Amino acid sequence: MTYVTDSSDKLLLSREACVNLAAAVHGENKAPFGSPLRQRSPPTPSALPFPQTEENRQKLQEYLLDYYRSSTFNTCEHQPLPLMDGPPMKLMVDPTYIHHTPVHVPVPLHWRDAVNEGLDQDVRLGVLEPVPMENLSHGVIEW
Protein backbone atom coordinates (compact mmCIF):
# COMPACT_ATOMS: atom_id res chain seq x y z
CA MET A 1 0.00 0.00 0.00
CA THR A 2 1.30 3.45 -0.86
CA TYR A 3 0.22 6.87 0.33
CA VAL A 4 1.04 10.00 -1.66
CA THR A 5 0.93 13.46 -0.14
CA ASP A 6 2.03 16.91 -1.21
CA SER A 7 2.50 18.07 2.39
CA SER A 8 5.84 16.32 2.95
CA ASP A 9 9.15 16.05 1.14
CA LYS A 10 10.25 12.97 3.11
CA LEU A 11 9.89 9.27 2.31
CA LEU A 12 8.33 7.20 5.09
CA LEU A 13 8.58 3.41 5.24
CA SER A 14 6.89 1.04 7.64
CA ARG A 15 8.97 -1.10 10.00
CA GLU A 16 8.04 -4.19 7.98
CA ALA A 17 9.19 -2.52 4.74
CA CYS A 18 12.49 -1.48 6.37
CA VAL A 19 13.15 -5.03 7.63
CA ASN A 20 12.37 -6.52 4.20
CA LEU A 21 14.51 -3.90 2.46
CA ALA A 22 17.45 -4.57 4.80
CA ALA A 23 17.11 -8.31 4.18
CA ALA A 24 17.05 -7.78 0.41
CA VAL A 25 20.11 -5.52 0.54
CA HIS A 26 22.06 -8.04 2.61
CA GLY A 27 20.92 -10.98 0.49
CA GLU A 28 19.11 -12.65 3.39
CA ASN A 29 16.06 -14.83 2.96
CA LYS A 30 13.82 -13.21 5.59
CA ALA A 31 10.10 -13.11 6.25
CA PRO A 32 8.26 -10.00 7.42
CA PHE A 33 9.38 -8.82 10.88
CA GLY A 34 12.89 -10.18 10.29
CA SER A 35 12.47 -13.86 11.06
CA PRO A 36 13.86 -16.47 8.65
CA LEU A 37 11.47 -17.86 6.05
CA ARG A 38 9.94 -21.07 7.38
CA GLN A 39 11.29 -24.09 5.48
CA ARG A 40 11.13 -27.85 5.76
CA SER A 41 13.77 -29.43 7.96
CA PRO A 42 17.06 -30.06 6.14
CA PRO A 43 18.41 -33.61 6.03
CA THR A 44 20.13 -34.89 9.14
CA PRO A 45 23.82 -33.95 9.00
CA SER A 46 25.98 -36.90 8.01
CA ALA A 47 28.72 -35.75 10.37
CA LEU A 48 29.06 -33.10 13.05
CA PRO A 49 31.65 -30.35 12.48
CA PHE A 50 33.18 -30.85 15.94
CA PRO A 51 33.92 -33.89 18.09
CA GLN A 52 31.20 -34.62 20.66
CA THR A 53 33.04 -33.53 23.78
CA GLU A 54 32.02 -31.45 26.77
CA GLU A 55 34.40 -28.71 25.61
CA ASN A 56 32.54 -28.46 22.28
CA ARG A 57 29.04 -28.56 23.78
CA GLN A 58 28.40 -24.84 23.27
CA LYS A 59 29.76 -24.88 19.69
CA LEU A 60 27.64 -27.95 18.84
CA GLN A 61 24.57 -26.31 20.32
CA GLU A 62 25.12 -23.16 18.24
CA TYR A 63 25.71 -25.27 15.13
CA LEU A 64 22.43 -27.20 15.59
CA LEU A 65 20.44 -24.06 16.41
CA ASP A 66 21.78 -22.42 13.25
CA TYR A 67 21.34 -25.56 11.08
CA TYR A 68 17.66 -25.90 12.01
CA ARG A 69 16.98 -22.13 12.42
CA SER A 70 14.56 -21.93 9.46
CA SER A 71 12.65 -25.10 10.32
CA THR A 72 12.55 -26.71 13.76
CA PHE A 73 13.57 -23.63 15.73
CA ASN A 74 11.59 -21.10 13.66
CA THR A 75 9.01 -19.78 16.12
CA CYS A 76 7.71 -16.96 13.92
CA GLU A 77 4.03 -16.36 14.68
CA HIS A 78 3.42 -14.63 11.33
CA GLN A 79 4.13 -17.57 9.00
CA PRO A 80 1.97 -20.66 8.57
CA LEU A 81 3.39 -23.98 9.64
CA PRO A 82 4.27 -26.35 6.77
CA LEU A 83 1.88 -29.20 6.10
CA MET A 84 2.99 -32.65 7.19
CA ASP A 85 3.36 -35.59 4.84
CA GLY A 86 1.82 -38.96 5.53
CA PRO A 87 -1.54 -40.59 5.99
CA PRO A 88 -4.28 -38.75 7.90
CA MET A 89 -4.17 -39.15 11.65
CA LYS A 90 -6.73 -41.59 13.08
CA LEU A 91 -8.33 -40.70 16.38
CA MET A 92 -9.31 -43.68 18.48
CA VAL A 93 -12.43 -42.48 20.30
CA ASP A 94 -15.03 -44.39 22.24
CA PRO A 95 -18.21 -44.01 20.11
CA THR A 96 -20.31 -43.35 23.22
CA TYR A 97 -18.50 -39.99 23.60
CA ILE A 98 -18.98 -38.75 20.03
CA HIS A 99 -21.11 -35.61 19.52
CA HIS A 100 -22.49 -34.96 16.06
CA THR A 101 -23.44 -31.35 16.77
CA PRO A 102 -21.22 -28.54 18.04
CA VAL A 103 -21.13 -28.27 21.81
CA HIS A 104 -20.87 -24.81 23.33
CA VAL A 105 -18.16 -24.88 25.97
CA PRO A 106 -18.23 -21.79 28.16
CA VAL A 107 -14.89 -20.08 28.74
CA PRO A 108 -14.46 -18.17 32.01
CA LEU A 109 -14.48 -14.43 31.40
CA HIS A 110 -10.95 -13.93 32.79
CA TRP A 111 -9.57 -16.47 30.22
CA ARG A 112 -11.59 -15.31 27.21
CA ASP A 113 -8.96 -12.90 25.75
CA ALA A 114 -6.13 -15.43 26.13
CA VAL A 115 -8.22 -18.22 24.57
CA ASN A 116 -9.22 -16.00 21.62
CA GLU A 117 -5.58 -14.92 21.10
CA GLY A 118 -4.48 -18.57 21.10
CA LEU A 119 -7.18 -19.53 18.59
CA ASP A 120 -6.30 -16.56 16.35
CA GLN A 121 -2.61 -17.55 16.46
CA ASP A 122 -3.48 -21.16 15.52
CA VAL A 123 -5.48 -19.85 12.54
CA ARG A 124 -2.51 -17.67 11.44
CA LEU A 125 -0.17 -20.67 11.71
CA GLY A 126 -2.54 -22.84 9.68
CA VAL A 127 -3.18 -25.28 12.55
CA LEU A 128 -6.92 -24.48 12.67
CA GLU A 129 -9.43 -23.17 10.15
CA PRO A 130 -12.37 -21.03 11.22
CA VAL A 131 -15.75 -22.72 10.88
CA PRO A 132 -18.03 -20.72 8.55
CA MET A 133 -21.06 -19.34 10.38
CA GLU A 134 -23.48 -20.96 7.90
CA ASN A 135 -22.20 -24.40 8.99
CA LEU A 136 -22.87 -23.55 12.63
CA SER A 137 -26.45 -22.46 11.95
CA HIS A 138 -27.34 -25.93 10.62
CA GLY A 139 -25.67 -27.69 13.54
CA VAL A 140 -23.36 -29.61 11.17
CA ILE A 141 -19.62 -29.34 10.83
CA GLU A 142 -17.98 -31.23 7.97
CA TRP A 143 -14.44 -32.47 8.56
**Average model confidence (pLDDT) across the chain:** 79
Q: What is the pLDDT of residues 58-100, one digit of tens each?
A: 999 999 999 998 888 888 887 888 777 788 778 777 777 776 6
> What is the reported pLDDT for 140?
45
For 17, the enclosing helix (H) or strand (E) is: helix 15-25
Q: What is the pLDDT of residues 8-31, one digit of tens each?
A: 777 777 777 776 676 666 555 666
> What is the reported pLDDT for 136?
54
The more confident residue out of 141 and 39 is 39
Maximum distance among all Cα pairs of the chain, rounded to whole angstroms: 70
Residue ranges of domains in the chain: 15-67
